[in-house]
């Protein structure tokens, strides 16, 4: 099974039709298939190294990548609030565990090993002996307890790290057993906790004087204008230089604790350069000018790059669908605001609360042609609440159903809807079915999707007023004022941990958009299946072990599939163009292109 999974390294064959074309595995570029273990622990002279199991490479060369946007705001991983800053923070500071890029399982990184007690409450971490910070100080249990008990527990910097591990309002108890052993004791079993151990560990001897000064001092610590020499890090690369709005240069950490099979220290590459580019077009130009080595491709560029691939020095890698989901959602809120006014008009409430109505919409939408027309074929129809690459994806539901307008009409008839002579849809009480579909303006992909959804629904006789709104305004409506009918929007998910979706699915969640509850609502009624979802998320988090958890998350996807509070549409494919000069390259669905950056090498490096 795992080997089948590995065929993530599939090359794009026909961008017009690709979905998850497994038939092209023959063309998979040479890829070091993982043996039984990707990494081994090996002790040499009292140092617990992590040993790479791939081909032995040679030193030298550089990799040039890019980041679209404004560049990192800070290199302090405990204070980063945007994806770019987090990416750099994670690169500079290792966490205790990391994710196996092939299976998605949790594997030790800075930790040598870890154990979980059978009741799921006690996590014991064994640290590597002899591993050092970049200033030569050893990395010990004190660093771990300090990171957890001070930086995270006391809410320095970005508090979302704390939000993620609070269990019924309580932090896990973190104690040092000896210099190389740490125990985490949870108030009750909480399975998503394990992934949270990937939080970067801080050097106590450097950061403690800062946290002693308070949160303000910590917030400006290791910010983007700190001289690179002042960083004391543990990651594969060290910061060499940051030129705002131009690039970040990282160099090999010569003391990193990973070695190859010959005992040479990894990483092989001397330099890792990340250009800061302002927009996607410039990124494409930089790739064509050979200034960067990796390019993430969007729908309309895939076909063009596929053409260029033949006579150029790069290969396209199709990593399958993204974790981003695009969906439409109806406002099923039947409550009044504090002024006594309904959020949604009562006649519309009856439609949106009606499962037949929602099913009709679900069956009327032609996802295949959305993928074909809007993503230029580089995407996959989506039916489940978990994204397609998720290891918790409900395999039975992933293929969904075809568009079926006849069936959609039957659903409507069942609930007493009827069509007048002009073909317009009316409800049982004779009201014309007319509502507004909102989406965020400026995103051409989403606007085009809105137009196509509108057409599909108009085939059912519904009158849809499609209105793209400024993103901020739309979000305000969806989370605050709640005065909307139908919204087309997207969320990013996780391929590894479904518990992150709790905010959407739990009935008191902050993003429970289809039935958002406010503290001063008139009533607090709840659908039986909403209650079921609440329970499933509770239970899914409290058992340990993938299979047990998966049963709960399979069930939640089934409920969402049947009740259709969110009607999922599609996910785009992730396609990357990567120059051929790198050896040991094996992009995977879960790990992306650079998951094994330390193992990459350049054959003809000087």
Q: What percent of the residues of the chain are helix, what percent strand, and what percent coil, each to the nearest 5?
A: 30, 25, 45
Query: Considering the complex, what minimum distance in angstroms separates the CB of residue 479 from other proteins?
Result: 5
- Choices 11-19, 43-51, 260-268, 464-472; region in contact with other proteins by CB under 8 A: 464-472
Q: In the block, which residue shows the tokens 């020095």? A: 313
User: Does the protein bind other proteins through residue 445 (CB under 8 A)?
Assistant: no
* 217: contact with other proteins by CB under 8 A: no
Alpha helices in 398-545 (DSSP H): 405-414, 444-458, 471-475, 502-505, 528-542
> For other proteins, how many residues bind (rule: CB under 8 A)?
54
Three-class DSSP labels, 33-96: CCCCCCEEEEEECCEEEEEECCCCCCCCCEEEEEEECCCCCECCCCCCCCHHHHHHHHHHCCEC
Q: Toward other proteins, which CB reaches closer, 468 or 501? A: 501
Binding string, residues 490-519; x marks residues near other proteins by CB under 8 A: -x--------xxxxx-----xx--------
472 lies in the site for other proteins, by CB under 8 A? yes
Looking at the Cβ atoms of 284 and 437, the one nearer to other proteins is 284
Whose Cβ is closer to other proteins: residue 464's or residue 533's? 533
The reply on whether position 483 binds other proteins by CB under 8 A is no
Bridging pattern class, strands 47-52 and 97-99: unpaired
State the binding string over 48-87 for other proteins (x if CB under 8 A, else -): --------------x-x----xx--xx------xx-----
* Min dist. Cβ of residue 246 to other proteins (A): 5
Among 24, 149, 223, 403, interactor with other proteins by CB under 8 A: 223
By the rule CB under 8 A, 153 interacts with other proteins = no
62 vs 337, beta carbon nearer other proteins: 62
Q: How far is the CB of 497 from other proteins (least distance, A)?
A: 10
Considering the complex, state which of residue 172 and residue 377 has its C-beta at the smaller distance from other proteins. 172
Per the structure block, which two tokens stand in for 158? 């970005």
Contact 17, 379 (CB under 8 A): no
Q: DSSP secondary structure string, 214-260?
A: -HHHHHTTTBTTS-GGG----SSEEEEEEETTTEEEEEE-TT-SEE-
**Is residue 522 classed as helix, strand or coil in its secondary structure?**
coil
Determine which residue in the list 14, 44, 214, 244 makes contact with other proteins, applying CB under 8 A: 244
CB-based contacts of 121: which residues, under 8 Å, 6+ apart? 185, 186, 187, 188, 189
Smallest distance from other proteins to CB 511, Å: 5
Q: Does 443 bind other proteins (CB under 8 A)?
A: no
In degrees, to the nearest 5, what angle opens at C-alpha 15 toward C-alphas 9 and 16?
A: 145
Q: Does 213 bind other proteins (CB under 8 A)?
A: no
Q: How far is the CB of 404 from other proteins (least distance, A)?
A: 31
Give 73 or 414: the residue with its C-beta nearer to other proteins.
73
Q: Are 56 and 262 in contact (CB under 8 A)?
A: yes
Of the ranges 244-252, 366-374, 571-579, 591-599, which one interacts with other proteins (CB under 8 A)?
244-252
Q: How far is the CB of 443 from other proteins (least distance, A)?
A: 13
Q: How far is the CB of 253 from other proteins (least distance, A)?
A: 19
Which residue, 55 or 481, is less far from other proteins as judged by CB? 481
Residue 525 binds other proteins (CB under 8 A): no
- Asked whether the beta carbons of 556 and 531 are under 8 A apart, the reply is no
Pick between residue 76 and residue 296 the one whose CB is nearest to other proteins: 76
Can you list the alpha helix ranges (DSSP code H) found in 166-233? 193-196, 204-213, 215-219
Minimum separation from the CB atom of position 489 to other proteins (A): 8
* Tokens, residue 251: 């160099």
Which residues face 238 on adjacent strands?
Answer: 251
HSE of 352, CA atoms in CB hemisphere, 13 A = 27
Binders of other proteins among residues 16 to 35 (CB under 8 A) are: none
Note whether 423 binds other proteins by CB under 8 A.
no
Q: Which stretch binds other proteins (CB under 8 A): 19-27, 160-168, 193-201, 378-386?
A: 160-168
Q: CB 154 → other proteins: shortest distance, Å?
A: 14
Cis amide linkage into residue 418, ω under 30° from 0? no
Is the CB of residue 408 less than 8 Å from the CB of residue 361?
yes
CA dihedral defined by 496, 501, 506, 510, rounded to 10 degrees?
A: 150
- Cα–Cα nearest to 186, from 161, 163, 169: 169
Q: Which of residues 246-305 bind other proteins (CB under 8 A)?
A: 246-247, 249, 271, 273, 275, 277-278, 282, 285-286, 288-291
Alpha-carbon gap, residue 80 to 220, rounded angstroms: 11
Q: Which residues lie near other proteins (CB under 8 A)?
A: 62, 64, 69-70, 73-74, 81-82, 158-160, 163-164, 219-220, 223-225, 241, 243-247, 249, 271, 273, 275, 277-278, 282, 285-286, 288-291, 470-473, 475-476, 478-479, 489, 491, 500-504, 510-511
């Amino acid at each position: 099974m795992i080997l089948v999974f590995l065929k993530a390294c599939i090359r794009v064959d026909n961008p017009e039709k690709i979905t998850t074309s497994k038939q092209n595995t023959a063309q998979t570029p040479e890829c070091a298939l993982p043996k039984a273990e990707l990494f081994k622990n090996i002790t040499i002279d009292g140092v617990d190294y992590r040993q790479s199991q791939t081909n032995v490479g040679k030193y030298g060369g550089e990799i040039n990548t890019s980041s679209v946007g404004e560049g990192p705001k800070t290199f302090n991983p405990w204070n980063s609030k945007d994806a770019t800053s987090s990416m750099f923070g994670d690169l500079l500071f290792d966490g205790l565990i990391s994710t196996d890029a092939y299976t998605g399982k949790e594997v030790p990184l800075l930790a040598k090993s870890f154990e979980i007690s059978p009741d799921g409450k006690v996590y014991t971490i064994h640290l590597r002996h002899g591993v050092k910070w970049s200033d030569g100080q050893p990395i010990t249990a004190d660093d771990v307890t300090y990171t957890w008990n001070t930086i995270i527990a006391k809410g320095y910097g970005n508090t979302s790290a704390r939000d993620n591990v609070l269990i019924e309002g309580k932090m896990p108890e973190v104690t040092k057993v000896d210099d190389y052993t740490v125990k985490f004791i949870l108030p009750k079993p909480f399975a998503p906790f394990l992934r949270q151990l990937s939080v970067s560990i801080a050097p106590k001897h450097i950061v403690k004087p800062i946290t002693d000064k308070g949160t303000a001092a910590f917030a400006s610590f290791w910010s983007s204008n700190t001289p690179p020499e002042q960083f004391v890090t543990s990651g594969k690369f060290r910061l060499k230089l940051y030129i705002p709005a131009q690039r970040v240069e990282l160099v090999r950490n010569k003391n990193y604790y990973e070695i190859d099979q010959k005992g040479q220290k990894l990483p092989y590459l001397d330099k890792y350069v990340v250009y800061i580019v302002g927009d996607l077009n410039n990124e494409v130009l930089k790739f064509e000018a050979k200034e960067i080595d990796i390019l993430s491709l969007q729908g309309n560029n895939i076909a063009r790059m596929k053409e260029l691939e033949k006579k150029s020095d790069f290969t396209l890698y199709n990593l399958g669908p993204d974790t981003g989901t695009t969906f439409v959602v109806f406002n099923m809120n039947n409550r009044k605001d504090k002024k006594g006014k309904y959020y949604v008009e009562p006649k519309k409430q009856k439609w949106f609360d009606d499962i037949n109505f929602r099913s009709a919409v679900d069956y009327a939408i032609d996802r295949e042609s959305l993928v074909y027309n809007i993503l230029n074929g580089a995407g996959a129809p989506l039916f489940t609440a978990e994204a397609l690459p998720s290891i918790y994806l409900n395999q039975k539901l992933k293929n969904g159903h075809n568009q079926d307008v006849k069936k959609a009409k039957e659903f409507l008839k069942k609930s007493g809807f009827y069509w007048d002579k002009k073909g317009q849809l009316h409800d049982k009480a004779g009201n014309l079915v007319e509502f507004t579909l909102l989406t965020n303006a400026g995103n051409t992909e989403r606007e085009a999707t809105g137009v196509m959804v509108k057409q599909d629904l108009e085939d059912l006789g519904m009158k849809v007023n499609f209105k793209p709104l400024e993103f901020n305004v739309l979000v305000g409506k969806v989370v605050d004022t709640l005065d909307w009918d139908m919204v087309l929007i997207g969320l990013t998910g996780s391929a590894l941990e479904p518990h992150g979706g709790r905010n959407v699915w739990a009935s008191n969640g902050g993003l429970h958009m289809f039935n958002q509850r406010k503290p001063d609502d008139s009533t607090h009624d709840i659908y039986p299946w909403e209650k079921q979802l609440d329970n499933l998320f509770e239970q899914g988090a409290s058992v340990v072990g993938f299979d047990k958890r998966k049963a709960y998350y399979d069930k939640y996807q089934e409920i969402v599939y049947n009740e259709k509070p969110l009607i999922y549409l599609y996910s785009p494919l992730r396609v990357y163009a990567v120059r051929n000069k790198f050896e040991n390259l094996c992009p995977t669905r879960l790990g992306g292109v650079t998951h094994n950056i330390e193992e990459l090498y350049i054959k003809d490096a000087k």
